[in-house]
Structure 1
Amino acid sequence: MKKKIFMALMLSATYGYGQVELEKELLSTSGAREKVSATFKSTRLINGHTNETIHKNELDFKVDHRFGDIAGSNGGLRQFFGLDNSTDIRIGFEYGISDRLTAGFARAKGATTVQQLYEGSLKFRLLEQTVNEHIPVAVTLFGSSTIAAVRANREDPSSATAYENFQDRLNYVAQMIIARKFNSNFSIVITPTYVHRNFTVFRDQNDLFAIGAGGRAKISKRMAVVIDYFLPFRNQEDQTYLEQVGNRKFYNPLGVGLEIETGGHVFHLNFTNATAIQEVQFIPETTSSWTKGQYRWGFGISRRFTLGKD
């Protein structure tokens, strides 16, 4: 009797599973659950992230570079329009644990006195836009932790590297990346951001909220114009103090560039006033201005490798 009941349950479960799979197949065929793909061609625009993750068992190798000022007092022909200098360099790897979850590791030079940065990150696709507009936007969550390995400055307590313990070296970033692909030629992204730095100079903010925005407009089969911008929400009193006493005037990071897709490579040629590449630095600490010629050209190269099968 128990064997008959067990067999009946198994047949019922198999039938139910078959019905569910058939419904999924029909919905997929009708396009009701068809997901929008390739909202962006890379996991980054210029400074900011996109909603894209790496496919399962794929490894994305990235190299990003920022040069010196093109114009202004530190640029011009004497510095070969910034090519003689390098403000920041980042080498990173991103691996697809699944199609929705990406783990990353990177090493960056760092563009301030806080240098020798090691970053670990996770990126997860929470929602994916669907063709039938049932889900009108894609939502991806990003989180990272950065460790500064630079030697501590124990002689100057006002220094940004006057670390007393290991926790002082830790910094964190959390982002919700909201993206929408309007058509095959145009996509946008909005990025609410939270930055926490365990240690800063006096009167600088440990916690900072910002919002980023960006877009991609395709101009040919393999080329697109990309742009992104971040607006940090600073405490006005602290900002005034740092500008007057610390002689540090802050500007909002703005980047524009050209994206070129060449098979397995995605190449970015960009211009930005941000000297740093890591979010934990370029969002709270951009002190260069486009209007003063303190923008620089940089590039990013991305190459993906398949390491295994699903």
Structure 2
Amino acid sequence: MLQIRMLTALLLVAPAVMAQDDLSKMFGKDSVSRGPVIATFKSTRIINGQSNETLKKGELDFRVAHRFGDLGGEAGGSKTFFGIDNSTDIRIAFEYGITDRLMVGLSRAKGSGNFSQMYEGLAKFKILQQTIDNRIPLGIAVFGNAVVTSMKSSTVESDAAYFDNFSSRMSYTGQVILSRKFGNILSLAVLPTYVHRNRVVHMDVNDMFAVGVGGRLRFSKRLALVVDYFLPFREQASKDYFEGRGVKFYNPLGVGLEIETGGHVFSVNFTNSTAILENQFIPETTSTWLEGQFRWGFNISRRFSLGGK
């Protein structure tokens, strides 16, 4: 009789155990391994360049970016407290997550280069997310912005800042962001980029392609090294023309230390770029690291939840 009762209990328990095992396979390790890779980068930006990251739905990101003056060279040194007395560009932005994959934003930048008093509208969308099991080996996102300057028009027609109509004030950036995270230590990104400026000076180019690369090397849970670099493809005739007039263009390079402090992501960086917006730092960087014409700056991100989880 006891044996019959034990057999009956085993027959009742076995299906439940098997069902639990099936559920664990469905929602457990197998499900996790097919899940998306998270935190490829800790911020929506690396230093100058974009990362693949977007904001969560209902998340508001208040961002402040600042670039000081040259540390060395003729414009730097102790007389300007190694650039701290000067400011080449400042950007203040509000960015918002429409969905977990789509974010939009508005910003105001001081501007550096031909234009100042810049207003920017932007959007970024995640097309694909890298998965833990490498069935999708790369993350793919797209970024775009439209920028308008509100500065007073020059009265000299040959100046870059001479605006004969409103469209002359506009510039645009389109970018594809290819990213991959290697374990929990290293993240890399490649950023094919297109910049269009409606108004340029003689022998400058309206349309410019560039390729950016960026990386994040994690030291600890809250500390990482970040680097990005852009290679603009400017026509040789344009380079020669400007060099003949004492203007030489350089490739933007940024190196920084990223610190995460709860709701804040703080980046202290050094870059030869004087501008913050892609529309300016990609085609208009004329400072070089080799002559001390780089500056320290910072990016601060503070996020707020306005709804959702």
Instruction: Output the TM-score relative to the length of structure 2.
Output: 0.90
In structure 2, C-alpha distance between the alignment counterparts of 1:60 and 1:173, rounded to whole Å: 21
Partner of 1:259: 258
CA distance in structure 1 between the partners assigned to 2:221 and 2:139 by the alignment: 24
Aligned pairs (5 A) from 1:187-202: 187-202=187-202
Map Cα deviations across residues 168-217 of structure 1 (whole Å, 9 max, x no partner): 01100000000000011110000000000000011100000000001000
Residue 109 in structure 1 maps to residue 100 in structure 2: no
User: Counterpart of 1:75 in 2: which secondary structure?
Assistant: coil
Q: Would you say how many aligned residue pairs link Structure 1 and Structure 2?
A: 286
Shift of 1:28: 7.0
* CA distance, structure 1, for counterparts of residue 117 and residue 217 of structure 2: 35
1:94 correspondence with 2:95? yes
Distance 1:288 1:269, change over 3 A: same
How do residues 97-246 of structure 1 correspond to structure 2 at under 5 angstroms? 97-154=98-155, 156-245=156-245
| Partner residue, 1:48 | 49
Provide Cα deviations, 1:41-75, integer angstroms capped at 9, x if missing partner.
00011100000000000000000000000001110
| Matched position secondary structure for 2:268 | strand
Q: Distance in 2 between matches of 1:243 and 1:110?
A: 23
Gaps of 5+ in 1: 1-21
Larger radius of gyration: 2
Give the match for residue 268 of structure 1: 267
Distance in 1 (CA, whole Å) between partners of 2:273 and 2:75 is: 15
In structure 2, stretches of 5+ residues that fail to align are 1-21
Aligned residue number for residue 60 of structure 2: 59
Letter in structure 2 aligned against 1:305: F
Answer whether contact 1:125 1:141 (CA < 8 A) is retained. yes
Q: Measure how far apart 1:221 and its partner are.
A: 2.0
Report runs of 4+ in structure 1 exceeding 4 Å deviation: none
Shift of 1:89: 0.2
Matches within 5 A, 1:71-82: 71-82=72-83
Matched to 1:102, the amino acid is M
Find the aligned partners of 1:59 and 1:215 in 2 and give their Cα distance. 25
SS at match of 2:82: helix
Contact 1:53 / 1:125 at 8 angstroms: preserved in 2? Answer: yes
How high is the TM-score relative to the length of structure 1? Answer: 0.90
Kept after mapping to 2: 8 A contact 1:173/1:193: yes
The alignment's C-alpha RMSD in Å is 1.4
Whichever residue aligns with residue 166 of structure 1, its letter is: F
For 1:98, the aligned partner's letter is: T
Structure 2 Cα separation of the partners of residues 276 and 183 of structure 1: 33
Letter in 1 for 2:267: H
Instruction: State the Cα deviation string for residues 213-237 of structure 1 (Å, max 9, x = none).
Output: 0100011221000000000001001
1:250 matched to 2:246? The reply is no
Note if contact 1:146-1:172 (Cα within 8 Å) is conserved in structure 2.
yes
Over the matched positions of the two proteins, sequence identity in percent amounts to 56
Q: 3-state DSSP class of the match of 1:82?
A: coil
The yes-or-no answer on 1:295 pairing with 2:282 is: no
User: Contact conserved, 1:27 with 1:33, CA < 8 A, in 2?
Assistant: no
Letter of the 2:258 partner, please give it: E
Structure 1 position 34, deviation (Å): 0.7
Aligned to 1:26: 26
Q: What's the offset of the Cα at 1:27?
A: 7.2
